[in-house]
Structure 1
Amino acid sequence: MSLRVATDKDTGVAVVTLDRPDRLNAVDLDTARELADTWKALRFDDTVRAVVLTGAGRRAFCTGIDRDAVVPQPASPYMQDDPLLTVGPKANDLWKPVVAAVEGMACGGAFYLLGECEFVVAGADATFFDPHTTYGMVSAYESVLMAQRMPHGEVARMMLMGTAERMSARRAHEIGLVSELTGTGDALAAAVACATTIAGHPPAAVQGTVRALWAARETSLAAGFAQAPHLIALGNLPAGDQAELFAGRRSQGFRVR
């Protein structure tokens, strides 16, 4: 199993942990299925009233799709199979609040998860970036999701700078991507504290509020997502060229701002 779920029946909080620290908590196809199954199962567990999502270890919250995952694609530029589209709680009709606790790197496909959490708590050493453009790929779904969370100029800079720059937790807090900044290693405890408070409120009111907040974003997300498949198909380099760029990644420097 690449996912751990720990439920505290007394507080009503479940902690869902991406448990692939040796792969920087990258999501392979098994993990994607486990995430979808977990969110669906939590819909039926009335003892759980709030959820915290985190990653094992302090090197990374999540680094997106596992590069070893093989996902065959249709030939048409208007259709695409993306396993990350089903990894988030909202995609699986879970309207219990989910708080993200981020330590280390959160990049690329991690934004599918962060984009469907209510808010983000981050340790001081957390960093945020999107490598897509560096490796000849269109940042489509990630950009659309983060455009709901960050000022336009900030999300544009993150997505276009690729691996050359990482947004620090401090900067992410300044622009509102991160709602609470903690000491290194303290994000999970702070997120659980928030979730415990939320879980103490009447659940129907909480879930209705979550649903109302998401409703305010759905129209723009749907419009952006509708453009994504053919933009990716038209803009991505061939897989072999992407792999060549990715192979040279360790020689590239970056700065944190």
Structure 2
Amino acid sequence: MGAVVKTLGVAADKDTGVAVVTLDRPHRLNAIDLTMRDELIETWRELRFDTTVRAIVLTGAGDRAFCTGLDRDAEVPQPESPYMADDPLLHVGPKSNDLWKPVISAVRGMACGGAFYLLGESDFLVADTTASFFDPHTTYGMVSAYESVLMALSMPHGEAARMALTGSAERLSAERAHSIGLVTELTEPGGALAAAIAVASVIAGHPPEGVQGTVRALWAAKEAALRQGFAQAPHLVSLGNLPLDRQADLFHARRPGFRLR
């Protein structure tokens, strides 16, 4: 059932029409390196053509994290120009790859930083009670630009602002995420994947043309705001990010502990 590649697992159930895509780097808390980035892009684009797949569940391997964003050891070359910046995760999500089949994220453990590129392009989230959400950018001298835009369109503005501005000092609990609508269903520990597959199976049982048109319509409701926000992001990142060596100093000097709310 399915095929496993280096950093990504893909399993499709032809009977239900549901594919499960698994971020499979648990030893790195499912952080996205450039190999995983490329495999995600390839997977989303392949799923566009697989008519047996009518709904997708995205999850992370292991019980510690859904995804912790970009792997800090990933070497991302940048052009030497203030007018050109390459964000390695900008096109890592399903919508960015023109996939209009429903994608449901099943979250267990931490989801932070660059994970929001994936969560922000999911149609909705299911989480278990171990899930937590936070954005460490400001703690390490970085601007949360793309991530904040995506989250501001997925949760109340004040919650998105507080999460982005408090950095790694606070984490949004699964219960709080559920109460504000970021998470649509909360399960017992270990139950998020099964719950996500169950609802994906229901959706996959509907005629796909209507489902995919509805996904496209829902995304259109926030697409203009997303495009406008993203247009500002490269300039804000260029202006506000500390040099990489200073970011590394702050990362290594970080204090353990956080407030869960």
Q: Name the TM-score, length of structure 2 as normaliser.
A: 0.97
SS in 1 for 2:73: coil
Deviation, 1:78, is 3.1
Letter in 2 for 1:221: L
Does the 8 Å contact 1:79/1:230 carry over to 2? no
Which residue in the other structure is 1:125 paired with? 130
Deviation, 1:106, is 0.1
Matched, 1:223 2:228: yes
How many percent identity over aligned positions?
A: 73
Which residue in the other structure is 1:79 paired with? 84
Runs of 4+ in 1 over 3 A off after TM superposition: none
From 98, 101, 104, the equivalent of 1:96 is 101
Q: Deviations over 1:64-113 (max 9, x none)?
A: 00000111222333321112011100000000000000000000000000
- Provide structure 1 residue ranges, at least 5 long, that are not aligned to the other structure: none
C-alpha separation between the residues in 2 aligned to 1:210 and 1:76? 37
From 162, 175, 187, the equivalent of 2:180 is 175
Which residue in the other structure is 1:252 paired with? 256
Letter in 1 for 2:212: Q
Total equivalences in the alignment:
256
Q: Deviations over 1:31-68 (max 9, x none)?
A: 00000000000000000000000000110000000000
Letter in 2 for 1:227: Q
SS in 2 for 1:53: strand
Letter in 2 for 1:141: Y
From 92, 105, 110, the equivalent of 1:105 is 110
Deviation, 1:230, is 1.0
Which residue in the other structure is 2:46 paired with? 41
From 193, 203, 216, the equivalent of 1:211 is 216
SS in 1 for 2:75: coil
From 46, 52, 56, the equivalent of 1:51 is 56
Q: Deviations over 1:181-200 (max 9, x none)?
A: 11111000000001000000
Deviation, 1:140, is 0.2
